[in-house]
């Protein structure tokens, strides 16, 4: 049985916004994500987000589309479960999830506590029901970070851990860097390290994994 996994590019575009009604002043310092593939098609996601708040804020709002129409016009509903949000020391950070139209919104932070300066968030989640199968292959197509931000990180990485029994040499990869819809594959090059795939860019990127 083939490993089946695919995501429409715009579904994976994460949106991070300040947890405040007013405009925020913050800078992304770094964004690292890791994706562990299970043979069942489930994806375990860990995202390390480093933000520098220039003014006091309560936290971030994280959004991801969980319902959308495919190119064929079919309605696709995926399941995203946020398991935890922690700081660098592993201490739990409050978060709330809610459905807003086609998006799942995650409010990260304490409404009674403001933060300023460098802040680190580690968010763990599980993605299900998000795969399609093509006649010749199965594909994972993912925007590592969204584009609707006041500031875009200049240091972005993504690590892929294949399912058991799948070698990195058997996986086809591509990576596109730049604005949403970019087909520029010259500024983002995948590499293999210790049985994993590593993608690095100095700007938002989209990774493509074919098996």
- pLDDT tens per residue, range 12-25: 445 555 554 444 46
Asked if 13 and 21 count as a contact pair (C-beta separation under 8 A), the reply is: no
Asked if 109 and 115 count as a contact pair (C-beta separation under 8 A), the reply is: yes
Q: How far apart are CA 182 and CA 133, in angstroms?
A: 23
Res 158 pLDDT > 90: yes
| Strands (DSSP E) found in 110-195 | 115-128, 139-143, 156-161, 172-177, 189-193
Residue 21 DSSP symbol: S
Look at phi and psi of residue 67 and say left if phi exceeds 0, alpha if psi is from -120 to 50, else beta: beta
| Residue-level pLDDT at 153 | 65
Which tens digit of pLDDT belongs to each residue from 69-88?
A: 766 777 878 889 999 999 99
Query: What is the radius of gyration, based on Cα positions, of the chain?
Result: 17
Residue that the structure tokens 């043979």 belong to:
39
Strand duo 139-143 + 156-161: pairing: unpaired
Q: How far apart are CA 187 and CA 200, in angstroms?
A: 9
Q: How far apart are CA 150 and CA 79, in angstroms?
A: 27
User: How many angstroms from the chain centroid is the CA of residue 30?
Assistant: 13
Look at phi and psi of residue 129 and say left if phi exceeds 0, alpha if psi is from -120 to 50, else beta: left
Q: How far apart are CA 137 and CA 116, in angstroms?
A: 46
- What is the residue-averaged pLDDT of the chain? 82
Res 155 pLDDT > 60: yes
Model confidence at 7, pLDDT cuts 50, 70, 90, reads: very low
Residue range 99-121: mean pLDDT, rounded: 91
Strand duo 79-86 + 115-128: pairing: antiparallel
Residue that the structure tokens 């399609």 belong to:
132
The structure's pTM equals 0.83
Asked if 171 and 196 count as a contact pair (C-beta separation under 8 A), the reply is: no
């Amino acid at each position: 049985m083939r490993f089946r996994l695919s995501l429409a590019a715009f579904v994976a575009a994460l949106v991070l916004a300040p947890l405040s009604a007013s405009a925020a002043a913050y800078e992304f310092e770094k964004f690292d994500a890791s994706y562990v593939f299970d043979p069942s098609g489930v994806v375990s996601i860990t995202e390390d987000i480093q933000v520098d708040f220039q003014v006091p804020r309560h936290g971030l709002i994280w959004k991801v589309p969980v319902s959308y129409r495919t190119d064929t016009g079919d309605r696709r509903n995926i399941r995203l479960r946020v398991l935890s949000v922690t700081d660098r020391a592993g201490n739990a950070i409050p978060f709330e999830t809610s459905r807003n139209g086609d998006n799942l919104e995650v409010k990260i932070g304490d409404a009674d506590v403001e933060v300023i300066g460098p802040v680190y968030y580690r968010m763990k989640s599980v993605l299900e029901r998000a795969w399609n199968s093509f006649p010749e292959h199965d594909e994972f197509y993912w925007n590592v970070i969204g584009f609707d931000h006041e500031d875009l990180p200049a240091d972005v990485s993504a690590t892929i851990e294949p399912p058991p029994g799948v070698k990195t040499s058997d996986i086809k990869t591509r990576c596109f860097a730049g604005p949403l819809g970019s087909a520029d594959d010259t500024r983002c090059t995948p590499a293999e390290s210790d049985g994993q795939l590593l993608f690095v860019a100095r700007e938002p990127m989209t990774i493509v994994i074919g098996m």
